[in-house]
Amino acid sequence: MKTIQYMLACALATITLLAQDGDFIASDSYVVFEASNDAPKATLSFENNSSADINVGSLSLIGAHGDEFNITSDGCSGVTLAADGSCDVEVAFVPKNNGIKNALLEVPYDSKNLYVFLTNDEDTRHNVIKRLSPVVYDINISEQLEGAKTYELKWSLVGYHSDYKAMVVMFDCTGVAEGECGANYSDNEKFLDSGLMNAVSSEPADWSYYDQNATKFDYSYVVNMPAQRANGDDWNATGTDVVVRFYVLSAEDEKNNKASLSLIIPGKLAERYYDTSGRKIEKTMCPSGGCNQ
């Protein structure tokens, strides 16, 4: 019985992944409900990604355990969505007994169907993505950064999502207390923001978790260092600290309009590149004539 259940889960997941055709998309195609005293709930959004109206039919729960999930709020059934329009549905998990429960939320639209896989059994891939965040794996940046000069910053990140966008942000820490500079993306000391960038290349990484392999994504950004400090003053003759922070946004989180995460820098880098929080890279900013230390 356990084998049959597992095979059913895999089959349903396969259907779900093939269901979205780009015109009508769900915020999530795979939802895991964790056990709790109260019926856990999940809100799903459906968006018309086409240029024409989409007519949504009546939603239903199907599969062997369809009666152990409830649609508690339905803003989609019978709705006509204009281009870029969206609607929301809330689903609750109400198991009758213990065990693995799987079902499909079927969303008919026009002459097609979209499916969302519902389960209380997290597969290895989603478990890995949930538990293991991407990290900066390699950084290549000049030891000292001179004002009014141009540098190429290269770095890599390793993660388990299929795709990422990354961003580098720099802060001028002149006169700012240790540990406070660059604590937030919006700090006044910020003088460089690359914006989110696609990787220039990717390849399988050496890291793996059970049977799931990570991917290494490589990034490159040309940094034009300012001739003056963030406040407009000239750089100190002995240089001043620069904090570099990296941010990352997975393709899945971008689709769901979630915020980017600040990347954590792992060990095996020179000591000067990170502090105890793992988020700081100390560099030296020098005047255009070079550092005089």
- Distance, in Å, from the CA atom of 83 to the CA atom of 288, rounded to the nearest integer, reads 52
35 band by pLDDT with thresholds 50, 70 and 90: low
Please state, in angstroms and rounded to a whole number, the distance separating the CA atoms of residues 10 and 3. 11
Q: Do domains 2-122 and 131-286 have the same CATH topology?
A: yes
Domain boundaries, the chain: 2-122, 131-286
Kindly indicate the confidence band of residue 197, based on its pLDDT and cuts at 50, 70 and 90: very high
Q: Answer for the pair 125, 141: CB distance below 8 angstroms, yes or no.
A: no
Residue 286 CB burial class (10 angstroms; 0-12, 13-18, ≥19): buried
Task: State both tokens at 85.
Answer: 């329009």
| pLDDT (average), residues 168-179 | 84
Confidence at 178, pLDDT banded by 50, 70, 90? confident
Q: What is the pLDDT of residue 261?
A: 83
Torsion of CA 46, 164, 184, 181, to 10 degrees: 180
CA 180 to chain centre: 25
Task: Read off the pLDDT of residues 78-135 as tens digits, 9 standing for 90 and up.
Answer: 999 999 999 999 999 999 888 888 999 999 999 899 999 998 876 676 677 766 788 8
Q: Where are the alpha helices (DSSP H) in the chain?
A: 2-19, 124-131, 251-255
Whether residue 214 contacts residue 160, with contact meaning beta carbons closer than 8 Å, is answered with yes
Give the helix/strand (H/E) hosting 157: strand 150-159
Residue 60 scores a pLDDT above 80? yes
Q: What is the pLDDT of residue 140?
A: 87
Contact residues for 65 (Cβ-Cβ < 8 A; gap 6+)? 95, 101, 102, 103
The most confident of 49-53, 198-202, 226-230, 273-277, by mean pLDDT? 198-202
Q: Which of 51-55, 150-154, 228-232 has the lowest mean pLDDT?
A: 228-232
Q: What percent of the chain has pLDDT over 70?
A: 83
Helix (H/G/I), strand (E/B), else coil: 210 = coil
pLDDT on residue 7 = 27
Q: Computed over its alpha carbons, how large is the radius of gyration of the chain? A: 24
3-state DSSP helix/strand/coil % of the chain, to nearest 5: 15, 45, 45
Across the chain, mean pLDDT equals 81
Report pLDDT digits (tens) over 274-292: 544 555 677 888 887 777 6
What would be the CATH architecture of the domain defined by 2-122? Sandwich (2.60)
pLDDT per position as a tens digit, 50-59: 899 999 999 9
Closest by alpha carbon to 124, among 42, 36, 6? 6
Strand partners, 168: 246
Q: What are phi and psi of 271, to 5 degrees?
A: -55, -35
Q: What is the CATH number of domain 131-286?
A: 2.60.40.10
